[in-house]
Amino acid sequence: MWSRIGLRTRLLLSIGAGAIVVASVVGILSRPMLVERAIRSKGASLLAVARVAGKMAPQDPSLWKEFAYKLQETLPGHQVFLLEGELDSEGFLANSARLGVSRESALGAFGFGEHLSTPSPVSKGVYEALVLLKSPQKRALLGIRTNDGSDTSSPETIWHLWLLALFLGSTMGILLGYFFAYFLLIRQLAEPLRVCAKFVPSRGKARGDMALLVDGIRAIEKAEKQERARAERLSLELKRMREDLKGAQATLLRAEKLASVGELAAGIAHEIGNPIGVIMGLSELLAEGQVDAKSASSFARQISEAAERVHTIIKDLLAFARPKKDEGVLCDVGEVISATVDLLRPQKRMRDVEVIQDVEKGGLYAEIRASQLQQVLVNLMLNSADAMEGKGRIIVRARKREGSVFVEVEDDGPGVPLHLREKIFDPFFTTKPVGEGTGLGLTISAQIIGIYGGDITVHDAVELKGALFRVRLWEAMRESG
């Protein structure tokens, strides 16, 4: 917005802003002085009225009360009172207390013949003038007091004076702004323009600083418009390029998806093709009826095993394609680890494997269904047992740190080479012999952990010499009671 405003408009706005700032500062700084001046002025006026009244008072003390009543009628908005007697007499003290006259004010009036009490500039109060009336027989104090206790600063007078101060401040601000604009800006801007003008053929009479500045400003505004138009064109081109890039990214994404689908289909065809071939070949032999009973039984068992393998592959594919997340679930990680170890201990490939459980005490709860975490642990522990060929140690750890729960499965096997650590989570990737694995176990495990916001990573073992698989899950807080 500011870049679209011309230089002349900027100068005028700067001068106006400077005037407002100076006027505001002058007005704010001058208000206390104006208030004090108004207080002194009003107090002096009240004391002058009291002096005149004291001189006009009759000499006969018996007429002083009547004089005070008449003076009250001539001074509306004021309180006129009379304090008769000496300073320390009981009647004087009682009347002064009733009227709110301090002893210091009365003492000043008796001592100097008059006394003026004024409020402070920041507190509420009244103006009070006391003059001494005296005759050969007695003395008394004539007092005049303003009735409006909230009027301490003569608002009308202060308002007029403040307006005057604002006017003077604005005028001074405009003059200072013009001085600054002309001598510090205009002349500095005009100087290079004047130098440039020497090399341009002159037309007509010489021109002053302001004329040169106006021409320069117009040239600058024209250049600004050209730059703005160029920037708009560049913005449109950048927007078009961004849209083209989005289209290219979408095309690449579709191609990547198609490639993934093709790779997955090839893996499925390869994994299912072998057992299907076994089933078809043995079925043809059985259909010919030229095999003995023993061979037929063996063929039937092989067909059943091949069909079971196809069933396992299809079941794993369904689990891979449709992972399910249960919202708001939690499980005791220590209990799941203990139950998984008990579940796997009777299996043949785990009989010579020592499983060490290292679970942090105090209860570890993670955001995942217990059966799904057990499925992941079964896959990791069986993979470790296969890597160790059924002999060695497995350490299962569980720790919590910074709002997460970490479960680690470490083994004594040969480990996972660096160049394979990214591939082992791909569908149908396996290092096992043909027929011993589908290559979907780690893929499904990673997907299960992923839908709960966690991940699985592979590292070198810490205590043992093989591989370490680390599962990270969000920590869940168990509700008390």
- For residues 307 and 337, membership in a common domain is answered with no
- For residues 356 and 431, membership in a common domain is answered with yes
Domain total of the chain: 3
Choose one of 140, 156, 172: the last residue of a domain: 156
Asked if the model's pLDDT at residue 317 lies above 60, the reply is yes
- Model pLDDT for residues 347-385, shown as the tens digit of each residue: 888 888 999 999 998 889 999 989 889 989 988 998 899
Choose one of 156, 189, 221: the last residue of a domain: 156
What mean pLDDT is reported for the chain? 76
Q: Is the pTM of this model over 0.85?
A: no
Q: At what angle do helices 333-344 and 370-387 cross, to 10 degrees?
A: 50
Residue 40 lies in domain: 2-156
What mean pLDDT is predicted for residues 312-326?
A: 64
How confident is the model at residue 208, as a pLDDT? 56
Judge whether 218 lies within some domain.
yes
Of residues 195 and 470, more confidence is placed in 470
- For residues 13 and 144, membership in a common domain is answered with yes
Choose one of 322, 340, 368: the last residue of a domain: 322
How confident is the model at residue 71, as a pLDDT? 84
Of residues 193 and 147, more confidence is placed in 147
- Model pLDDT for residues 22-69, shown as the tens digit of each residue: 666 665 665 556 555 655 667 777 778 888 888 888 888 888 888 888
Report the C-alpha gap between 252 and 2 in whole angstroms: 43
Instruction: Give the best-scoring range by mean pLDDT among 81-95, 187-201, 435-449, 463-477.
Output: 463-477
